[in-house]
Amino acid sequence: MSVLNEAARVESLTVLSRFRTGFYDCLSARADALFELAEALLCTDGPVKTLVDLALAPEHRRGHGALYDGLNSGRIEVARLRRSLSALPLPRAADGRIVLAVDVSPWLRSDAPTSAERLFCHVYGRAKSASQFIPGWPYSFVAALESGRTSWTAMLDAIRSGPEDDATAVTATQLREVVQRLLDAGQWRPGEADILIVADAGYDVTRLAFLLEDLPVELLGRIRSDRVLQLPAPPRLPGTNGRPAKHGGPFALGDATTWPSPHIVTTTETTRYGTATATCWDRLHPRLTHRAAWLDHQGELPILEGSLIRLQVERLPGNNEPKPVWLWSSHTGLTADQVDRLWQAFLRRFDLEHTFWLFKQTLGWTTPKIRAPEAADRWTWLITVAHTQLRLARHLAEDLRRPWERPAAPGRLTHPCPGAARLPEHPREDHLPRRCTQTRKARPRTTTRLHEPPTGTPLRRRQNHQARNHPRCPARTDRLKINLEGV
């Protein structure tokens, strides 16, 4: 077992070293400044609070002026870096399938009126009606999801949406390029299961399925609970005249009276949510019209059939009322095992939220007050590269524990942060100070308690004699006699 673990560590170190070399080759201008900035981002203890503090890290051997010059005037070959990310070993689901997640995270810049290409970003509040639209830069990320008890994701791409971009068209182009790079890198081969792409309710999953129908992908997305879909058209009866029907009866997600008998019903026992019941209806499609995204569509509108899945759990943490989750898949004719794998893969999409939290709270993605959007793009790619190196080095790093903390199991970290997962040292950094990872033994100390009281001036005892009266002032008894004689 130790030989296998050592071989795995050597392989991980080889992959990490190859990626670091490839990343440096992608820096075509201000290469050393950008590379050392990424090194400082990785090796700085604790969360990144300000950008200029990274210039004080030992790994950053330049001044703070070179730091900002690298972000403002540097150049990264993004296409080459994307190919390098796609060539890394990808995590897969339990059945060996590649699962991709796409989501948008905003970089809010409400106090930067001179920054170009800002958009109104939708921000969710704590209450249902507390959502806001704040100016900022929305970034679309695509990552590969892992399986098991982990929240790590393999980031593959990041793009910033512009003021004139169509959200669905940009997402479709981004997903097409990501899938094509995976195919070119040999991550998917003919005969394997289609690549699964999961998305949240903010995406038009049916249009994405139409735009990506020529790729070996399956789209799975959450849809609103007030949607109305159409059942498949009934078979045409013999001797019937007229145009054949395209749509069947309505299927209102909020009206159970419009639901026909489901094709598949599965139940799964979970530890946190109790019994999870998945109900699936086959060959449901939306009723499209020549409006919005389909306004410029030439010819007859397509019939986009898919599978509708309703997921209902028994309970939620915190005694919240569980509401059903509606999912739409672009594939039809699903089996019971496929239905369970689909809704379980959708739940793994929330690992991307943990990645965004790591980007912002620990790595300081949205911390810098950068004016130019091009500099923000370079910083975003540096954050992506740093996260990728942390993911590749997680099996090589040891958790740094304080003396009063319980030791962690080998190969397991407390949380993915740069302070806990230190990367292997750079060959040029042998002269840099190292962080102490061992607790020194306490030195023997001699007792300092005094057995005898120190010699000094003794305390003055309290005087018991009567106080003297002032000679000019007669005594109280004498004053009383004088008063009586005067009477």
- Angle, helix 31-43 to helix 2-25, in steps of 10 degrees: 140
Q: Residue 439 has what pLDDT?
A: 46
Taking residues 215-224, report their average pLDDT.
97
Which two structure tokens, joined as six digits, stand for 462?
A: 């309290």
User: Residue 32's closest CA among 70, 85, 71?
Assistant: 70
Residue 155 CA to residue 144 CA, distance in Å, equals: 6
Distance CA 474, CA 471 (A): 7
Higher-confidence residue of 264 and 8: namely 264
For residue 382, with 0-12 CB atoms within 10 Å meaning exposed, 13-18 middle and 19 or more buried, which class applies? buried
CA distance 238 to 480: 140
Average pLDDT over every residue of 304-326: 93
Cβ atoms of 36 and 57 closer than 8 Å: no
**Predicted confidence (pLDDT) at residue 12 exceeds the cutoff of 90:** no
Exposure of 425 in the CB half-sphere (CA atoms within 13 A):
10
Residue type, 312: Q
CB burial string 390-422: b at 16+ within 10 A, e below: bbbbbbbbebbeeeeeeeeeeeebeebbbebbb
Taking CA atoms, 430 is separated from 394, 412, 434, in Å, by 22, 27, 9
Residue with tokens 């007792």: 447
Q: pLDDT tens-digit profile of 432-487?
A: 444 444 445 555 655 555 555 556 555 555 555 555 555 555 555 555 555 555 54
Residue 61 CB neighbours (<10 A): 16
Lowest mean pLDDT among 135-139, 393-397, 446-450: 446-450
Quick one: pLDDT band at residue 31, thresholds 50, 70, 90? very high
Taking the alpha carbons at both ends of the chain, their separation in whole angstroms is 118
Least confident span in 293-302, 352-361, 379-388: 293-302
Average of per-residue pLDDT across 279-283: 97
Residue 288 CB contacts under 8 Å (≥ 6 apart), including other chains = 294, 301, 302, 304
Give the count of beta carbons closer than 10 Å to the beta carbon of residue 21: 10
At 213, is the pLDDT very low, low, confident or very high (cuts 50, 70, 90)?
Answer: very high
Q: What's the confidence (pLDDT) of residue 97?
A: 96
Among the residue ranges 12-16, 44-48, 188-192, 430-434, the one predicted with the least confidence is: 430-434
Residues 6+ apart with CB under 8 A from 202: 104
Q: Note the Cα 115 to chain centre separation in Å.
A: 25
Residues in a beta bridge with 326: 223, 310
Q: pLDDT-derived band of residue 296, with 50, 70 and 90 as boundaries?
A: confident
Arithmetic mean of pLDDT, 351-364: 96
Which residues does 349 contact at the CB level (< 8 Å), separation at least 6?
A: 101, 103, 145, 198, 199, 200
Residue found under tokens 């997640």: 101
> What integer best gives the mean pLDDT of the chain?
86
Residue 231: count of CB within 10 angstroms of its CB? 18
Q: What pLDDT, on the 0 to 100 scale, is given for residue 186?
A: 96
- What the block records as the tokens of 252 is 């209102």
The crossing angle, in degrees rounded to 10, of helices 2-25 and 373-392 is 160
Model confidence, pTM:
0.81
The tokens for 395 are 């099996």
C-alpha angle with apex 331: 329 to 333, nearest 5 degrees? 115
Confidence of residue 423 (pLDDT cuts 50, 70, 90): very low
pLDDT digits (tens, 9 = 90+) for 62-111: 999 999 999 999 999 999 999 999 999 999 998 999 999 999 999 999 98
Flag whether pLDDT at 394 surpasses 60: yes
Count CB atoms within 10 A of the CB of residue 323.
Answer: 10
pLDDT for 308: 98
Q: Is the pLDDT of residue 416 over 50?
A: no
Structure tokens at 421: 């997962």
- Report in angstroms the alpha-carbon separations of 114 from 50, 117, 373, 374, 378: 21, 10, 11, 14, 19
Read off the pLDDT of each residue in 243-263 and give the average, rounded to a whole number: 93
Model confidence at 120: pLDDT above 80? yes
